[in-house]
Structure 1
Amino acid sequence: MHARRLLIGVIPLALMVTACGGNDPATTTSDSGKKLDQVTLTLNWYPYGEHAPFYYGKQQKIFEKHGIDLTIQAGQGSQKTVQATAAGQTDFGWADTPALLAGVDSGVKVKSLGVFLQTTPASVQSFDAKGIKTPADLKGKTIAGTAGDALSKTFPIFLKKNGIGDSDVKVQNTDPAGKIAAVISGKTDGLLGYASDQGPTMQHKADKPVSYLRFSDHGLNFYSNGLLAGQKILASQPDLAKRMVQAVSESWAAAEKAPEPAVSSMEGASEQLPPKTVLAEQFATTLTLLHTAATQGKAPGVNTDADWQQTIDVFAEAGMVSKPKAVSDYWDQKSALKG
């Protein structure tokens, strides 16, 4: 259902209530007497397993260590988070890189501070019984997808890389919230979704094992979710941006070492929160997405120019970026973690 966070069509900017929105931040004082900047982070969607590090970092006072009093709020899709961050309606955002690229391409004043999910979770998801184990098994199948989103835009590239024609697979246009139901009801053989998101939910609802045909395992990888900030806050509060990047990286590293406590820290985060078993599986899969070959062994959130360029090239080919720019136009290397 969370695939709607990747929709790149024209969507009105949602008004979000935030603490500071890019002006000089308000401050609070910690129990130990330390001055903290009040900071709002808007997620890409309602909280799910992927977001455990933010809650764990707050619980473990990692953000406080970096002088940040963090407020986490749900988002309504990556595009809206990108727009709200650029407009100063939230201090920082957590959103999908394709939405960031499309935003910058259309003049939105926002930059990435670092992508954390560097291996795409994009995948075809189906019940094991369908026997979709290789790209060739997709021939003659019907797959639920959402027109215009990054998954549907990159699926033809995935097929092409694996020697399969567009006409060999039928993509049935389906509302993001209806894709899981389409598979469970048998209307489609599978869906285009995220291995760290829909699959665990579908498996839980149907009580059937789910298979994943990951794009990244078959020749196509690109950046997924990461931290971003509006150019106003980057210009006026560069130190805060650097501290936020460091705190987020440390929170991810800590959560990776303690996945069960990290998932438990999400308790009460949202009325829409998935069951704990689903959260645990979502987060376990998320942890497989943190690096590319170029960043293995480095801190979460360390990026490379080459990986950024590969992502830009993929979405230029997919038609989601019409005027590709330099890597530095999308990624703020002044605030970035150093490898």
Structure 2
Amino acid sequence: MVKILTFLHSAKLGLIAASLILFAGCSSTTPPANTANSSPAATTAANTDNKTLKDVRVQLSFLMQSLDAPLIVAINKGYFAEEGLNVTYERGFGNVDTISKLGTGKFDLAFSDMYNAMDFNDKNPNDKIIAVAITQNKAPFAVIGFKDKGINTPKDLNGKKLGAPAGDGPRKLFPLFAEEVGVDANSVEWTTMEPKLRETFLLQGKVDAISGFSTSALPSLLKGGKKMEDISLFYYTENGLNFYGNAILTKASFAKQNPDVVKAFVKGYFRGLQDVLRDPSAGLDAVLAADQSKLMDRNAEKIRMEIGLKDLYITPEVEKNGLGGLDPKRMEATIAQTVAGFKLKTKPTIADIYTDEFLPPKELRALPPASDRKPLS
């Protein structure tokens, strides 16, 4: 989505006792690069018993954000190292780009959505990508407009000018959304812009509404001077398109060759997510501390995490089934919608895009009880 200076993050956990020491940069002696095309060394972790760790390369979906707190916490607390992994991560440049790079083998695992992965698989049937765990139970796909511009209900989008990058997933799915809410998709005029300009176009009145991820758009719009009461937010998940959000993805070939690595990563990640759900403020602080650029806006990242806690992570489905899983009927419906929205040549089965064989036992990925969850501050 939003493109800003590329950066990676580097940290090494000490090998003495149980203390953890965070280092910035590739090493303690080399200052980190911080340019548009290069970044510091990726964050690493080592456990306390001096055993050899397996290197695992991970790509985020976008620039590091507060929603990446589970990964950062798992690294900081040594959860991956306990599983024998030395996890490194790099920022992403959008879900489609992240999936493309995962497909090339540049990374071992990545955070992105299953629906763009289905599109990739449709074009690369012999080199498939699969989801091994769902990290966001609901997708943040949305259409967003301003009430003072006459956008109060989805039907107000009829005949309006909408904006989004050409490859935007919610834009591709808009005709299905329009059908669900009674909007004539052909009456809408689309304006294409760079991801970093999407919210600016809306704030400047160049478009009447935008499609995108609420987690990216809302912090930018609020920072631009709008208040939540000024904004109309139409979630796809609330309008007939009950999509899942991001997942942990990997190539099917990598999972087959490295099943223990995938299981270990998923286990460590969900330990980090459980910690973040118990204490989201600590998770937010961990991300801010890992930001070597020191350009992160805490208020914006707090808003992003609030959206995650309220709309993406804690749902009745997760309360029932635990973190990481999915509901087959719901998934079947979204697969059919993806085939139509992305104009896929073939309809994949659930097994073509998702497997639960790498998930920890349900008791190890349970949602923390409400009584154990501290409020975000």
TM-score (structure 1 length as normaliser): 0.85
Structure 1 residue 309 and structure 2 residue 332: aligned?
yes
Aligned in 2, Cα 1:117/1:200: closer, same or farther, shift over 3 Å?
same
Number of equivalenced pairs: 323
Aligned in 2, Cα 1:17/1:52: closer, same or farther, shift over 3 Å?
closer
Give 1:28 deviation, angstroms.
7.9
Larger deviation, residues 273-282 vs 284-293: 284-293
- Please list the CA deviations of residues 240-271 of structure 1 after superposition, one character each: whole Å capped at 9, or x if unmatched: 11111111122112111111111111124353
Question: 1:296 aligns to what SS in structure 2?
Answer: helix
How many angstroms apart in 2 are the aligned matches of 1:28 and 1:53?
14
Aligned in 2, Cα 1:113/1:143: closer, same or farther, shift over 3 Å?
same
| Number of the residue aligned with 1:100 | 117
Question: 1:226 aligns to what SS in structure 2?
Answer: strand
Structure 1 residue 43 and structure 2 residue 65: aligned?
no
Q: Which has the higher contact order (CA 8 A, sep 6+)?
A: 1
- Please list the CA deviations of residues 75-95 of structure 1 after superposition, one character each: whole Å capped at 9, or x if unmatched: 223233223323332121111
Give 1:154 deviation, angstroms.
0.8
Give the partner amino acid of 1:53.
P
Q: Percent identity?
A: 21
Q: Out of 182, 185, 204, which is 1:163 matched to?
A: 182
Report if aligned partners of 1:115, 1:302 keep a CA contact under 8 Å in 2.
Answer: yes
Which structure has the larger Rg over C-alpha atoms? 2
Report if aligned partners of 1:16, 1:90 keep a CA contact under 8 Å in 2.
Answer: no
Aligned in 2, Cα 1:233/1:15: closer, same or farther, shift over 3 Å?
farther
Structure 1 residue 120 and structure 2 residue 139: aligned?
yes
Give 1:235 deviation, angstroms.
1.8
| Number of the residue aligned with 2:291 | 269
Unaligned runs of 5+ in 2: 4-36, 363-377
- Please list the CA deviations of residues 92-148 of structure 1 after superposition, one character each: whole Å capped at 9, or x if unmatched: 111122221111112233211122222121111223433533212323432212334
Give 1:319 deviation, angstroms.
3.0
Give the partner amino acid of 1:242.
K
Report if aligned partners of 2:173, 2:342 keep a CA contact under 8 Å in 1.
Answer: no
Give the partner amino acid of 2:259.
P
Q: Following superposition of structure 1 onto structure 2, how do residues 218-257 of structure 1 map, counting pairs within 5 Å? A: 218-257=239-278
Q: Out of 60, 63, 70, which is 2:87 matched to?
A: 70
Aligned in 2, Cα 1:176/1:306: closer, same or farther, shift over 3 Å?
same
How many angstroms apart in 2 are the aligned matches of 1:70 and 1:28?
6
Report if aligned partners of 1:138, 1:169 keep a CA contact under 8 Å in 2.
Answer: yes
Question: 1:262 aligns to what SS in structure 2?
Answer: helix
Question: 1:182 aligns to what SS in structure 2?
Answer: helix
- Please list the CA deviations of residues 170-217 of structure 1 after superposition, one character each: whole Å capped at 9, or x if unmatched: 332233222111111111122111111111112112344433111112
CA RMSD of the aligned region, Å? 2.9
Question: 1:278 aligns to what SS in structure 2?
Answer: helix
Give 1:17 deviation, angstroms.
11
Q: Following superposition of structure 1 onto structure 2, how do residues 15-34 of structure 1 map, counting pairs within 5 Å? A: 30-34=47-51
| Number of the residue aligned with 1:144 | 163
How many angstroms apart in 1 are the aligned matches of 2:304 and 2:282?
14
How many angstroms apart in 1 are the aligned matches of 2:171 and 2:264?
36
- Please list the CA deviations of residues 134-170 of structure 1 after superposition, one character each: whole Å capped at 9, or x if unmatched: 2123234322123343111111111111122114433
Question: 2:215 aligns to what SS in structure 1?
Answer: coil
Give the partner amino acid of 2:285.
S
| Number of the residue aligned with 1:331 | 354
Give the partner amino acid of 1:219.
G
How many angstroms apart in 2 are the aligned matches of 1:330 and 1:256?
27
Give the partner amino acid of 2:67.
E
| Number of the residue aligned with 1:6 | none
How many angstroms apart in 1 are the aligned matches of 2:314 and 2:120?
24
Question: 1:266 aligns to what SS in structure 2?
Answer: helix
Q: Following superposition of structure 1 onto structure 2, how do residues 281-292 of structure 1 map, counting pairs within 5 Å? A: 281-287=303-309, 288-290=311-313
How many angstroms apart in 2 are the aligned matches of 1:273 and 1:115?
29
Structure 1 residue 206 and structure 2 residue 229: aligned?
no
TM-score (structure 2 length as normaliser): 0.77
Give the partner amino acid of 1:57.
A
Unaligned runs of 5+ in 1: 4-13, 20-26
